[in-house]
Amino acid sequence: MSEGGLGLPPLPSDVVPFTAHWEYRPGPGTMTIGGSSEAVQLAWVRLRTDRSYDAATLVALTDVLPPALYATTSTPVPVPAVDLQVVLADAPPTTGWVLTRIATRTSGGGWCVDDSEVWDSGGRLLAQARQVRRVLG
């Protein structure tokens, strides 16, 4: 991950390959590992290239942040997505920073449901997603 790292040490791209394509700036009060009573992650994110955003990029942006539960845990555990549903809300921006947010809606019994949103710098909603995750730790 880029400088700031969302509260994590830099992740090698061979472990999390897609992080090599993004630049991150954590949102206020966001802490990826522990320290929060709320399972929420917030960050400004952009592609490292000037390539225009398309539908596939917006789908990726709905899942670009670590699982929201990481904000409340002291150690990351595997939390793979079992189902991901994305709704594209509007035309994508040409390039640049977008605000991404992911929050755990519910969790228990080894499962959680995360909701995420992506907004452009003008506050326009671009995409929403819901994913069901298996908590393996």
Q: What would the pLDDT profile of 60-112 be if each residue is shown by its tens digit? A: 999 998 889 888 888 878 999 999 999 999 777 768 999 999 999 999 999 99
Confidence of residue 31 (pLDDT cuts 50, 70, 90): low
pLDDT reading at 9 higher than 70: no
Domain boundaries, the chain: 5-134
Count CA within 13 A, CB hemisphere, residue 91.
3
62 in Cβ contact with 118 (< 8 Å): yes
- Check residue 1 and give its pLDDT: 36
Q: pTM score > 0.75 for this model?
A: yes
83 in Cβ contact with 121 (< 8 Å): no
Mean pLDDT of the chain: 84
Q: Across the strands, what pairs with 23?
A: 46
- Check residue 11 and give its pLDDT: 54
- Check residue 80 and give its pLDDT: 93
Q: Enter the CATH code of domain 5-134.
A: 2.40.160.210
